[in-house]
């Protein structure tokens, strides 16, 4: 059976995404190379820039994991990558929680339960937001 041809499309943001094959549930697009499944954006990076140095990871500047546009990729130290990814996630959650708090005035416990943080973290956030109002 012939293999399905790879087809890519460029989004409005300039992201280069595969439209012929599905991305993995984690959002990354992987492709089989001689029986080895590889993350396609890493393959693209290597093709343009050479080997990825040990301990380094490829980060998407556009935050679109499916994107394979080398211009949207940068190489980062693995430990640093983890930190900024967690910070972004934390910040998003923090901002959503703040919005929810402004609209509904939940307790720290409720906030913790709704946003997947401990109740002390929820209470800490609330104290912070209250102090911003003063
Ligand atoms: Zn992109």
pTM: 0.63
56 and 106 belong to one structural domain: no
Distance between Cα 43 and ligand 1 center (Å)? 15
Domain presence at residue 94: yes
Are residue 17 and residue 54 in the same domain, yes or no?
yes
Own/partner contacts of 33-38, CB < 8 Å, gap of 24 or more, are: none
Residues 67 and 49 reside in one and the same domain: yes
Same domain, 15 and 72: yes
Looking at the domain assignment, is residue 1 inside a domain?
A: no
User: From the CA of 97, how far away is ligand 1's center (Å)?
Assistant: 28
Question: CA dist 102 to 8, 120, 126, 130, 132, Å?
Answer: 42, 18, 10, 10, 12
**Distance from the CA of 6 to the center of ligand 1, in angstroms?**
18
**How far apart are the CA of 41 and the centre of ligand 1, in A?**
10
**Residue-level pLDDT, tens digit, the chain, 134 residues:** 457 788 999 999 999 999 999 998 899 999 998 999 999 999 999 999 999 988 889 999 999 999 999 999 999 988 888 888 888 888 899 999 999 999 999 999 999 999 998 999 999 999 999 998 87
Cα separations in angstroms, 64 against 6, 10, 21, 95, 117: 19, 12, 16, 20, 25
The alpha carbon of 66 and the centre of ligand 1 are apart by a number of angstroms equal to 8
Determine the structural domain holding residue 43 and report its residue range: 8-77
**Per-residue model confidence (pLDDT) at position 108:** 96
- Do 91 and 114 share a structural domain? yes
Q: How far is the CA of 46 from the centre of ligand 1 (A)?
A: 16
């Amino acid at each position: 059976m012939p293999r399905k041809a790879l087809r890519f499309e460029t989004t409005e943001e300039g992201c280069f995404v595969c439209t012929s094959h599905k991305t993995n549930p984690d959002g990354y697009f992987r492709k089989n190379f001689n029986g080895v499944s590889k993350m396609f954006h890493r393959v693209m990076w290597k093709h343009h820039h050479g080997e990825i140095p040990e301990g380094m990871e490829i980060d998407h500047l556009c935050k679109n994991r499916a994107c394979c546009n080398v211009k949207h990729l940068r190489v980062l130290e693995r430990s640093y990558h983890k930190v900024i990814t967690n910070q972004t996630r934390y910040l998003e959650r923090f901002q959503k929680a703040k919005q929810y708090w402004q609209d509904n005035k939940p307790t720290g416990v409720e906030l913790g339960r709704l946003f997947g943080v401990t109740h002390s973290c929820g209470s800490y956030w609330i104290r912070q937001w209250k102090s911003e109002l003063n």
